[in-house]
Structure 1
Amino acid sequence: MTASVVGIVREAVARIPRNYAGRPTRLTGFYRESDNDPKGQPRYLVEGLLTVFKVPYQQRTDEGAVQIQQSRKVDLRADHPVRFDWAGGPFIAHLADFVHARAQFIDPAQFRNYDYRLAPGSTYADRPVYVVAFGPRPGNRRARFAGRMYIDQDTYAFLGAEWHYTPTGLRSGIHRADARNLRVAYQPYAGRWHLKSVWWQTKYRPQWARRSSTSANF
């Protein structure tokens, strides 16, 4: 069963050039970022209208240009002794696009570090899918992520995924965090799949509890 599930993921990766945009694209989206206290109330909130420029999906990358068309910010931390700004937020449409970046869990060179299995469920966004759960193989300390992805049964397109960083993944990050969770979805347009939405949450507790979340919709 494991070998056959890996085969599904491998086929989905092989079909990325035909399933996703083969030319440069421009997305318009709404972006929201907040830094929340232990009760979930925002310490600050940023919202904006973004234009995101993406190169063809044949090119493996998690980088690209972003224009902030409009934005507003509410900052309630004026009396707080330490201030944090989560600077990567507007680039979430590039950083979290696991298909464009060929994230580690869909990188054929990294398959040996992961355990793949079919999970319960048969539909996603009203389409028949393979629900593939993934995580580190027993004893493996190289796999950075664990979660599940949704692969269209007809086209083998990645329709979405939800995942979190493993302890190995958290240690590999630039900034220390207690947890990082992501959720990404794609949508069809003109015969190809494009980024639809991204949600990213980071939890970090220095001397006080803190939670930051970022989301974008296109």
Structure 2
Amino acid sequence: DNNNKIVLMVSITKLEEVNVVIPKSARTLVKETLRRKGENYFGDPTLMTAFYRETIKKRKKNVSLSEAVVNIYKTPYSSEKKDAVQLYKARKSTDYNKLDTLALKLQGGPFNALYVDIMKYPEYIFNEVTMEDYDFSFERSTRINDKLIYVVGFKQRPNIYDPLYKGQLFIDAENKILTSAIYSLNITDKELASQMFVRKKPRNAKVYPTDIAYRVDYREKNGKWYYGYSNVLLEFKINWDKKLFNSVYSMSCEMAVTDWEKNISGEVPKVKDRLKSSIILSEAAIGFSDPDFWGEYNIIEPEKSIESAIKKIQRQLKKSNTDGGESIP
């Protein structure tokens, strides 16, 4: 409107020569990437500190928010042993009055985000059987941090009717490393999708998901890659008997690794001190509440990014680390 002029300066970037062997097919590339996880990702037991947040909204209104600092005892990527998680500090803010007659709860807590680590838990999306139920294709390639990245799209085959996933895998072309993945559940059958995610509901209500989406990002340190961040979004619609209007809820969770160190001894917490994959964090947070830990930032700010929350408690997180830990900026 003000007739502004924008001047662009010419800039030339010389790219280094890279020898890339083009894979025979997108499926072959994905299989090779999964096969090489033992050599490309952390091979030592690792103790990670992570910040976790989950929110529940009724349409656009916040109903519940829980945050926690957790210790993740990560096993090597070549190991089939599952990671152990220990709750360090937690807090919550819940207003169930906004939920009407329905108390919506998210089961699984940090495990919802942790199991999105495809390279550690490929069986949840690409196991030996389901791998053949997908079509893989090369999409546009891109460059991230001066590295050539193949973008591989995947979706379930037309003759497969069970709800599977569709999305994109970002793979380092030279080293066959998954650097990121963005995908969602293909909700072709609402009833089947509901059985996958709804554990308990009122008799006079039909609950089914309308959107289930995931993202995972990996980081690199000294030539080895590891889980760095993930998020999950779940949206549900609830139709009540004898009610004209339905209810729409969204549940989201995300987790970011803030520090890590090699767990040389391989120690893991006792079973009684570990979180169960069935945990409901909003209920478990009571026993781990510590206003002194959260300090002056004890007021939960639901609209702030997880990065903003991490920066505010960085000093407390550093105090909780043992010597030799690596801090993630």
User: Is TM (by shorter chain) over 0.5?
Assistant: yes
* Residues 119-172 of structure 1: per-residue CA shift (max 9 Å, x gap): 123134553211000001222225611101011112101111011112367356
Match of 1:152 among 172, 194, 209: 172
1:65 and 2:47 aligned? no
Shift of 1:105: 4.6
Which of the numbers 61, 69, 94 marks the counterpart of 1:75? 94
Separation (CA, whole Å) in 1 of partners of 2:45 and 2:75: 4
Q: Name the counterpart of 2:193.
A: 170
Q: Which residue of 2 aligns with 1:11?
A: 32
Name the aligned partner's letter for residue 170 of structure 1. A
Using structure 2 for the length normalisation, give the TM-score. Answer: 0.60
Output aligned runs, 1:44-63, within 5 Å.
44-60=64-80, 63=82
**Residues 144 and 77 of structure 1, relative CA distance in 2, 3 Å threshold:** same
* Aligned residues with identical type, % of pairs: 24
SS class of match (1:8): helix
1:210 maps to what in 2?
Answer: 249
Matched positions, count: 216
Q: Is the 8 A contact 1:92 1:216 kept in 2?
A: no
d(CA) in 1 for partners of 2:53, 2:256: 9
CA contact (8 A) 1:182 1:198 kept: yes
Residue-by-residue CA offset, 1:73-102 (whole Å, 9 max, x unaligned): 111114632212202122234321111111
Gaps of at least 5 residues in structure 2 are: 1-21, 199-207, 240-246, 258-329
The structure with the largest strand share of the pair is: 1
Q: Greater shift after overlay, 87-96 or 171-180?
A: 171-180
The aligned amino acid for 2:27 is V
Distance apart, 1:178 and its partner CA: 2.7
What TM-score, normalized by structure 1, do the two folds share?
A: 0.88
Q: Is contact 2:184-2:214 (8 Å) kept? A: yes
Mapped partners of 2:152, 2:144: distance in 1 = 12
- Which residue pairs with 2:49 in the alignment? 28
Amino acid at match of 2:92: K
Mapped contact 2:140–2:150 kept (Cα < 8 A): no
Q: Quick one: structure 1 residues 27 and 92, their matched pair in 2 at CA, closer, same or farther if it must change by over 3 Å?
A: farther
| 1:120 matched to 2:140 | yes
What runs of 5+ residues in structure 1 fail to find an aligned partner? none
**SS state of the match for residue 58, structure 1?**
coil
Given residue 76 of structure 2, which amino acid in structure 1 is its aligned partner?
P
Displacement, 1:2?
A: 10
Question: Which position in structure 1 is the counterpart of 2:301?
Answer: none
Cα pair 1:37 1:210 within 8 Å, conserved: yes
Instruction: Mark the CA change 1:124 to 1:149 in structure 2 (over 3 Å): closer, same or farther.
Output: farther
